[in-house]
Chains A and B, each alone.
Chain A
Amino acid sequence: MSEKKDFYQFTGTKGYIVSRSLVEAVNCAIALERPLLIKGEPGTGKTLLAEHVSEGLGMPMESWHIKSTSKAMEGLYVYDTLQRLNDARFGEGNVEDIRSYIKLGPMGRVFSAEKRHVLLIDEIDKADLEFPNDILRELDEMQFTVMETGDEVKAKERPVVIITSNNEKELPDAFLRRCVFHFIDFPTPDLMKEIVDVHHPNLDTQLLDQVLIKFYWLRGQPDLRKKPSTSELIDWISALRRSGLSDGQLSEHIPFIGSLLKNEADTAALADFEERGGKMPEDWSDLGPRYNQ
């Protein structure tokens, strides 16, 4: 029972609002020493989470941004053979010492660090399908061997591993089994108000209400190609504030639509809707039962 007190290690930070379920998932992953896999719509703050966990726990962070060409080995270490060959050819550098040609990757650096780190493996689904399987053992045991030298790199303190995925590819079962999973659901209007408050404090409540009604209404349109996300909402409010608009001007027209909709077809569809004199919602009750509980 004594462990309960240590459970809530991470409770969010000033600049990052978290839902209770996310707090619990993060702390569960920390307590079990398992990687935390975060999925969710783009723009829901998956990557930011790692930064704020690192800030909240006071641990340094190391990020590994995955690209389509990323290989598992790169995260551990890279043996720069070409450099060594070149040095051997021209008699430069310390060719005798193979270790000076072995450069640790993000995972390698975190494992060999003295202090406990937060390791962010960002957008793991961008890589090859087999990629997650290739780092499975290393993540499990938190150690690996540098093949060229036989050196063991073993984590003194198991890092807090946070992995994000945009769901572009299915992740292998064996990999999933080892993770604590959390899906960041799109924030509810109430949570969204808190999030907006962090970025735009002291926003007029009436304006905020109008902004959010329009925003959730837009997101609710079924034929939208690309739904606007939280980060787009924040940008949009910035634009609105700079232009000094009041809530009255929002009722019939959505200004600066370019900051919300990033798809031509969507912008055209909305313009068409406005031209036909379509009625935009003015109140939460216009949005249907989902927002009126």
Chain B
Amino acid sequence: MFLDFFYEMRDEGIPVAMQEWQMFMTVLERGLHDSSLMSFYNLAKSTLVKSETYFDAFDRVFAKVFKGVEGELSVSDELEEWLRDPENFKDLTDEQREMLEELDANELMRRFLETLEEQDERHDGGGRWVGTGGHSPFGHSGEHPTGIRVGGESKNRSAMKVAEDRRFQDYRTDVTLDVRNVKVALKRLRHLTREGGEDELDLDETVDETCRNAGEIELVYRPERRNNVRLLLLMDVGGTMDPYYEPVSRLLTALHEERGLRDFRPYYFHNCIYERVGTTADLYMKDAVPTGDLLRRYDERWKVLIVGDAAMHPAELMNPRGNINPRHESESRGIDWLMKFREHFERIVWMNPDPQSDWEHTRTTQVIQSIFPMLPLSLDGIQDAVTTLVGARPSAAGVTRH
């Protein structure tokens, strides 16, 4: 049962490792949870979960594992209340104490849960039930409510109730995007190099130069390490992208506000990239630039981020004169342009706002997926995209070439 908790958490994607687990075990072994389910819940959360983005998942797992069946509450609200009641605490005999200390955490946990399940009324004294003043390992003992200024939260609310409430849903990262989250994710988009202005004291050189100068101090400066990432953004606008206006605009805002990048250039297209791309989101012809210029102007070190739903009529991708706008009609096929991008740039990622489960149902999405690594437009997706753009190179086997 206890190990279930661990694996259920891992299954839910909470990154719990042995180190956290051991920390949690130490807490239990030392009885820090003080026999209260609420404390148990709080301490488990503090030691096992290291980001509020996983609180919701943790609450779900906690409610599931420690309740057995969802929808049923086996721990009554009052339970916690009378556990905290400072009843007369009977001193344990040394023998009993020894016995209790020998229980290992797993056993302790199992018994704790079993006891909770069996119990349905208040119990004081005695050796088995959860109650106040008893010598069961789970009785109330040292926590004096008067000694602590406890705030207004969680009065009469059991840990189960708190877990069930799932108040941390808003912090999940796999579903929502806000500008700040995106900015945090984009912070990793960087590659440090020493270039530009000299503003850091280079000690070794200073000493060398000073020696060469016969002791007359000669200060030598060198450039500080700076981000060297240049990002080219190509964004699909209009049509099927309209429903994704919100997440896409947040990504765009975050990118525009990101000061860390060495250079950032956005361009826009509709459905697929052809001869010309727009410099503004409304795609006016007069502002468009030849796509070939992009390939000439930006060298292979530029990182390319393409955002689009990749869902279009197959002809728009595979046929000459495929452009959905007849005024922009051209001889070359959309797929040829995409291939040119792949040949030219070293790192390209395609981010798709469509739900990942829909990808396999769209032919053009599958074709594009075979050209570029495609990732969903979620916070996790952006993190993966950043890794793909600046992380260590994947092994040759991971790259499929057609």
- Listed in ascending order, the chain A residues whose CB lies under 8 Å from chain B are 1, 3-5, 7-8, 11-12, 17-21, 23-25, 27-29, 31-32, 34, 37, 39, 81-82, 85-86, 88-89, 129, 167-170, 173, 176-183, 185, 187-191, 193-194
Contacts and interface: CB of A to CB of B under 8 A. Distances in A.
Contacts, number: 139
B19 A191 contact: no
Given A5-B142, A173-B15, A177-B50, A20 B148 contact: yes
Contacts of A187: 151, 153
Contacts of A34: 23
A147 B149 CA distance: 46
Nearest to B16: A177
B34 interface: yes
A32 B151 contact: no
A183 B20 contact: no
A177 B17 contact: yes
Contacts of B355: none
B326 to A, nearest CB: 39
10 contacts: A4-B30, A4-B141, A4-B143, A27-B32, A85-B210, A89-B216, A176-B51, A178-B19, A181-B46, A190-B151
B289 interface: no
A20 B42 contact: yes
User: Which 6 pairs, one residue from A and one from B, show the smallest C-beta to C-beta distance?
Assistant: A190-B152, A176-B50, A191-B151, A183-B52, A12-B149, A21-B42
B46 A28 contact: yes
Interface of B: 15, 17, 19-20, 23, 26-27, 30-32, 34, 38-39, 42-43, 45-47, 49-52, 55, 92, 97, 100-101, 137, 141-143, 147-154, 167, 180, 183-185, 187-188, 201, 203, 206-207, 210, 215-217, 219
A81 B203 contact: yes
A267 B164 CA distance: 37
Contacts of A5: 142
Given A170-B184, A177-B50, A185-B167, A23 B30 contact: no
Nearest to A3: B30
B141 A8 contact: no
Nearest to B179: A225
B34 A168 contact: no
Contacts of A4: 30-32, 34, 141-143
B49 A181 contact: yes
A28 B188 contact: no
Given A3-B30, A89-B217, A28 B47 contact: yes
B34 A193 contact: no
B152 A3 contact: no
Contacts of A18: 149, 151
